[in-house]
Amino acid sequence: MIFCAKNEDGIPTWKLVLDQKKIVTRRMKPMPIDKEFAVQPGRGKYAVCRAKVTDCQLSKVHWYVYAHNKELFEDIQEYKQHEAECEGFNSWDGLMRWFQDHKIQFADTFRIEFNVVKE
């Protein structure tokens, strides 16, 4: 899987994955849970590590379930900050700006959570 984008600080997402600061990615297609994949800094580039999918849900479904579960998050702002950090961003606004700049509808993506399994 290609991780060549950058967060709002200009840090490449593949580096954030390696540092385990990015544990969620959003993609247009779902991935099966337990699937392992290579983390590549660009098309045709060697993998920097491998990761394994731990959860995959349509983003709008995930948003609804977690945003309305008061046991997990105090309020919607706490949830937004948590999601931004899982994506390797400092803020929700930075994450949303990335989606807008790339003309991707956030609600139409799949939220894929993963763990690095091999460096």
The CATH number of whichever domain residue 19 belongs to comes to 2.30.130.30
Supply 57's token pair: 């849900």
pTM recorded for the entire structure: 0.88
pLDDT band at 75 (very low <50, low <70, confident <90, very high): confident
Q: Other C-beta atoms within 10 Å of 112: how many?
A: 24
In a domain, 62, yes or no: yes
In a domain, 3, yes or no: no
pLDDT at 73 over 70: no
- 107/63: higher pLDDT: 107
Sign of CA dihedral 63, 79, 119, 54: negative
Rounded percentage of the chain residues whose pLDDT exceeds 90: 76
User: Average pLDDT over the chain, rounded to whole?
Assistant: 91
* Region of poorest pLDDT, from 20-34, 74-88, 102-116: 74-88
Residue numbers of the domain that contains 19: 13-118
Distance CA 88, CA 20 (A): 9
Q: Could you report the per-residue pLDDT of 18-69, keeping only the tens digit for each?
A: 999 999 999 999 999 999 999 999 999 999 999 999 999 998 777 766 666 6
In a domain, 77, yes or no: yes
In a domain, 5, yes or no: no
Question: What's the CA angle centered on 19, arms 17 and 23, to 5 degrees?
Answer: 40
CA atoms in the 13 A half-sphere facing the CB of 61: 8
Name the domain count of the chain: 1
Stretch 87-95: mean pLDDT: 95
